[in-house]
Amino acid sequence: MRLARTSSSSQRKKTSQPASTRSLAARERGIAFDPVAGNVLDAIAAAASVSGIIFEYGALSAEPTPYPLFATLSKHLTIKGYTLFEVVADPVVFAKAKQYIFDHLQSGAFNPRIDKTFPLDQIVAAHRYMESNAQIGKIVVTV
């Protein structure tokens, strides 16, 4: 399975965009991550593959999130709510997760994309840059 990310800079400000303008899961993809929720969950479910999994991990939209019943039933979808507390609240699971990430960063299997780095004394500029939604990757503040 390949992963699809649904977050984009314009989603944080507008969640009523047509689904075609968002980075939704294409039909050949099996997993979609949606940090926005709201009225486009139905479009994500429509774009999901049969037996696909949709992770709802945020609520950036202020709109209600209707459950896509017919797409879920006809495609055998799994829609899972997730928060980081699922991992960090359990010390054993958290330790395993950290070790997994450290090992994969060290081996080069994970290669985080860093968009821009700011020194701590430019924290206001870093925050403005984050709010601009212009970044592709992570914003790093060095201490």
The conformational region for residue 23 under phi > 0 = left, psi -120 to 50 = alpha, else beta, is beta
Q: What pLDDT, on the 0 to 100 scale, is given for residue 80?
A: 96
* Closest to 21 in 3D by CA, of 5, 35, 8: 8
**pTM (predicted TM-score):** 0.59
Q: What pLDDT, on the 0 to 100 scale, is given for residue 10?
A: 39
Is 63:43 a contact under the CB 8 Å cutoff? no
* pLDDT, tens only, 42-68: 999 999 999 999 999 988 999 999 999
* pLDDT, tens only, 22-48: 444 444 558 999 999 999 899 999 999
The residues spanned by each domain of the chain are: 3-85, 113-143
- The three-point CA angle 8-117-114 to 5° equals 50
* pLDDT, tens only, 83-113: 999 999 999 999 999 999 999 999 999 998 9
* Domain 3-85: CATH architecture, name and number where available: 3-Layer(aba) Sandwich (3.40)
